[in-house]
């Protein structure tokens, strides 16, 4: 006779649950450590940078950007990525410049240094005009350790921009951003060679401190700049100012050197850099736009002719005969309130606007004539060199 002995079902104890939980956590941790870095590398694949191996005839070899657990805890991880992405396209420039002559006509030569950025794989480099001024010879130093003699393609003093060329291919290049979209407070990373190649590709970071800063270059020339508190030192000139996406938003050009100020550096907006560089490469020179009118600030008008009252805008005191302004209908005595949608209160603002335009472009100009505001279309002319 078979007997069936009833068995009481045992429920898992608390300790069983605890052990299973610990084992699961350990296994999960190993999986995260093994898989997560691969996922992060995949996510940042668009941030891979390239260097050129001297032994591969210009073949660009990708260098992975590594993000480990410690990097992710670093609040400056974005700067690390930007530096790795952009630095291969940043070059050092040595200028053996002629600084004068002695009584017998012999040259005085001095080596000066600066920075540049590669804008094409076949060796076009943009930098500041003052970096390559009076050059007897130019030498470019790449991030991979190679150096090349360089030739001057063209330079434009009023915008402080120049393009030089080296004979190389397969070079890493920068990516330009839209400087018109730059906002105060956004991340700004400067890369350059302060005090020469011993400190090559130094990275400093800060923010965009200001936009639309107008600087007079000469009596008839002005330029619009981006202001930053990222540290810029001698030798940084011509280096990139970069946003958090690794895009060049400006070309570092100058800083205020005074014991009374600190952290005031300036960069030429990237849209201006692109326009000038493309024109130099295409034609070897830069054509400057003109409106064909002589202008005066309201403060100057009050001194010269107190009977003329100007509350806003700039005063047109002379119009070039047959020039763009006259052809558009602008008259002496008009007050320019806006040009190209930009409100202006200084002549320098008009000059800076024109420096970013090319001859032949059509711009709308709003003028005040008596009590009437009139919008006229001006086809910009070409200024004499």
What secondary structure letter does DSSP report for 179? G
| Residue 192 and residue 232 in contact, taking contact as beta carbons nearer than 8 Å | yes
Q: Which of 237, 253, 270, 355 is catalytic?
A: 237
Q: What are phi and psi of 318, to 5 degrees?
A: -155, 145
Residue 54 CB neighbour total at 10 angstroms:
11
Instruction: Respond yes or no: is residue 87 known to be catalytic.
Output: no
Instruction: Respond yes or no: is residue 237 known to be catalytic.
Output: yes
Instruction: Respond yes or no: is residue 130 known to be catalytic.
Output: yes
What secondary structure letter does DSSP report for 288? P
| Residue 277 and residue 119 in contact, taking contact as beta carbons nearer than 8 Å | yes
Residues shown for the chain: 385
Q: Which of 130, 200, 221, 270 is catalytic?
A: 130
Q: Which of 160, 229, 297, 334 is catalytic?
A: 160
| Nearest one of 313, 317, 270, 321 to 292, comparing CA atoms | 321
Q: Which region holds residue 173: left if phi is over 0, alpha if psi is between -120 and 50, else beta?
A: beta
Residue 349, burial from CB neighbour count under 10 angstroms (0-12, 13-18, 19+): buried
Give per-residue burial for 215-230: e unless 16+ CB within 10 Å, then b. Answer: eebeeebbbbbbbbbb
What secondary structure letter does DSSP report for 196? S
| Nearest one of 325, 307, 324 to 316, comparing CA atoms | 325
Total H helices, total E strands in the chain: 8, 22
List, by residue number, the catalytic residues: 130, 160, 237
């Amino acid at each position: 006779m078979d007997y069936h002995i009833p068995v009481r079902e045992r429920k898992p104890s608390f300790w069983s649950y605890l052990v299973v939980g610990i084992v699961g956590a350990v296994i999960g941790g190993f999986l995260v450590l093994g898989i997560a870095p691969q996922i992060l590398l995949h996510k940042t694949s668009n941030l891979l940078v390239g260097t050129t191996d001297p032994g591969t005839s210009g073949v660009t070899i990708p260098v992975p950007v590594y993000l480990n657990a410690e990097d992710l805890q670093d609040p400056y991880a974005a700067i690390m990525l930007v530096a790795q992405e952009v630095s291969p396209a940043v070059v050092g420039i040595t200028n053996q410049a002629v600084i004068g002559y002695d009584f017998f006509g012999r040259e005085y030569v001095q080596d000066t240094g600066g920075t540049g950025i590669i804008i094409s794989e076949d060796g076009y480099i943009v930098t500041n005009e003052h970096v390559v001024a009076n050059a007897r010879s130019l030498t470019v130093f790449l991030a991979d350790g190679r150096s090349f003699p360089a030739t001057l393609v063209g330079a434009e003093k009023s915008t402080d921009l120049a393009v030089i060329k080296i004979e190389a291919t397969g070079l890493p290049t920068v990516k330009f951003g839209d400087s018109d979209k730059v906002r105060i407070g956004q991340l700004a990373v400067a890369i350059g060679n302060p005090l020469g190649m011993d400190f090559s590709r130094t990275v400093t970071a800060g923010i965009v401190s200001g936009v639309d800063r107008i600087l007079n270059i000469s009596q008839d020339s002005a330029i619009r700049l981006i202001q930053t508190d990222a540290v810029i030192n001698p030798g940084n000139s011509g280096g990139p100012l970069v946003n958090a996406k690794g895009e060049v938003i400006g070309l570092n050009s100058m800083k205020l050197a005074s014991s009374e100020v600190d952290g005031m550096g300036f960069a030429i907006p990237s849209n201006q850099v692109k326009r000038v560089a493309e024109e130099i490469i295409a034609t070897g020179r830069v054509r400057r736009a003109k409106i064909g009118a002589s202008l005066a600030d309201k403060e100057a008008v009050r001194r010269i002719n107190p009977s003329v009252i100007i509350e806003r805008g700039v005063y047109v005191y002379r119009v070039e005969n047959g020039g763009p302004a006259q052809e558009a209908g602008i008259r002496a005595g008009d007050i320019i309130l806006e040009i190209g949608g930009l409100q202006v209160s200084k002549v320098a603002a008009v000059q800076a606007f024109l420096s970013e335009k090319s001859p032949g472009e059509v711009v709308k100009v709003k003028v005040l004539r008596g009590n009437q505001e009139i919008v006229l279309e001006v086809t910009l002319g070409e200024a004499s060199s």
